[in-house]
A and B are shown apart, each in its own frame.
Chain A
Amino acid sequence: MADGRLQGVVSSGSDIERVYVSSFAAGTHNFNCSTNNNRPCGGAHGYTCKHLDLLLDEAIVQYGADRVARYLRVEVDGEVTSARDLLRHMNGTNERMPAAIVFSRFLRHLSYLELPVVTEPVPELHWFPAMGAAR
């Protein structure tokens, strides 16, 4: 959830080397899905593809349905537990969005996980107490 979009990178089901960049805009609920080389996804024509559905599902697992709904500004009545529930209340259309920016940000983000762990103390982190407050 950044820049007014719920966005993510979804692995291709058929080709392990390929990934899709999928996103929903907050407010308009317009969506887009394309490969990291900016080729439009075969499945996104006016309605959402399985990558977009997966993105929503994963966001719900990670942040909870309420938070996702609030972020995207989806008006919901009743309980929301799955992507389908949310999509029922969203009627955006396919909209071109530059996948390259999202993808390069994602790669930069991933590179953090490749950094070695350090065991020399980082006293500066005393300014950053654990974030239990979110509980």
Chain B
Amino acid sequence: MLETQLSTLLDDAPSGVVETLDLVSGFDEGLVSGFARLGEERAAALTALAGAMAATPLADRVAAAAEKIAGGSVTEEHLSVLAGARIALLGAVHDALLARLDTALRRTRATWPQPPTPNRTTSAGNLFSGCRSWLTELAIAGWRGVDHDLISSSDQVLQALLADPALRRLAVLTDGLATELHAGSPIGTMERLPVRRWADLWTRALLLSQAGAGTDDAQAAERVSGRLLILGVDVHEHSTAVQIQVHGVLESAGDSPSRLVRTSVAAAKVDTIVGPALWRLLANYPVLLGALAERRSLEITDLPLLDSGDLVWQDDRAKAGDPADPFVTARVQLADAVAPAVPPLNRHPVGIAEPVLVEGYTATSSDEHSTVTFAFGNVTIPVAVDRLPSCGPLTPQLVAASSACVGLLRWDGGSWSLQPLVVQATVKRKPVVSYTGDWAMGPTDPKVAKAEAKAGDAVAVLRERAGRLLRK
């Protein structure tokens, strides 16, 4: 990425973004004090939200829902309609930002197929309605009025959601929200609430608990074969879930252009499993993990590729290929690879994570590396060092000593940032390349490996215990 590209990206926010986010904030404030006690100001915010939808097919329904809720009739149905409006607004913000990014990077993006791959039908009606009524109660009480009992009332539905792998998205989300609410309790006295974040999670959970939402049908997806060149791996984590998301370029046989793809593996966990031990949860995927640790490409055969650009990983349909340097892949392939379309339901600024290569910058850090920025001439971009995972060797110090980086462009809290996946740095006058997947087969740093050995294999111990105690 060049200075000119970066300045195009970082130029003023696309028009309408700030105003749209204000409308979203108006709704989010309603969730803070609860829709049961909606003051005049909050009611006006709902009317404004409805006004913004006036020219859309949702217009009448949103207007009616806003009026009903302002009048004290806070039902699941009305809330779902308003949540839909909020999602539509953030979808528009997402589109404006991604269009800006594609223009700046001259990135070609596939168009969403019409009609899309059909959603898998699920028979989770009861669970969905259980989840929706919990979310409705949260909205009525408002974050400030939520207590441990109300939070825990989702326990049963949550257990049932977790038991069905097809519903993992909603389960992981609900669990994450409930855990944060518990941790924040008593929320009534919490100093600062993550207002936008909790509203995002709440809205998304309400969306995913509508019939037919959020289930991909891997059976119906296109099958692809070819060489997967890995750019890096992003790690997501909350106390009971971890997901690794590998970003790469897929070269298919024939002369079709290369494509930017991702592939993910997500495991449930307990909060004591952190750091390098996380990889042990994914040990059933040795081909993928081996390629990460050894920085190799992968030869894949007939893997489902969802319209969203996600390869549905199957370890037995892949084998390790030649060593592949992520910097070479980025330099040679990134400019021409076709980016995937974003599924309509996933259009949200938080989902933007576009791989880029940056080099020739000056890294500066302050506050003991808690903030790092990259400067390209007169243009600077903040580095999301807070997103560096503890299961890899990449530290803020290394990022601050780096001269080239493959990372993900993200947009969060109103501005762009760069999340490093791989860096080239100089440590004690020696060049090193360090990346988040280096420890996929175990830590390569002797000090960390020793600490790991001392702590023992917590995953194996806990799994053994689980097997014994749960089947008594």
Contacts and interface: CB of A to CB of B under 8 A. Distances in A.
Given A119-B266, A119-B312, A131-B389, 6 more contacts: A110-B462, A122-B264, A124-B172, A124-B173, A127-B350, A132-B390
Interface string B272-313: 101000000110110000000000000000000010101011
A114 interface: yes
Interface stretch (A11-19, A76-84, A91-99): A11-19
Interface in A118-135: 118-135
Interface string B253-268: 0000000001111111
Contact of B176 (A9, A123, A127): A127
Given A124-B204, A126-B351, A128-B176, A115 B162 contact: yes
B236 interface: yes
A127 B200 contact: yes
- Pick from B268, B353, B387 the residue with the most CB of A within 10 Å: B268
Contacts, number: 146
B104 interface: no
Interface residues of B, number: 69
Contact of A121 (B245, B281, B455): B245
B310 A118 contact: no
Nearest to B386: A133
A109 interface: yes
A42 interface: no
Nearest to B265: A119
Interface in B231-268: 235-238, 240-241, 243, 245, 262-268
Contacts of B353: 126
Contacts of B200: 127
Given A125-B243, A127-B176, A111 B470 contact: yes
Contacts of B284: 117
Q: What is the size category of the interface that chain A forms with chain B?
A: 35 or more
Given A61-B455, A109-B270, A114 B466 contact: yes
Contacts of A123: 169, 308, 346, 351
Interface of A: 9, 11, 16-17, 19, 61-62, 107-135
Contact of A127 (B201, B267, B384): B201
Contact of A110 (B237, B387, B389, B465): B465
A118 B265 CA distance: 6
B373 interface: no
A58 to B, nearest CB: 10
Contacts of A128: 176, 236-238, 241
B314 interface: yes
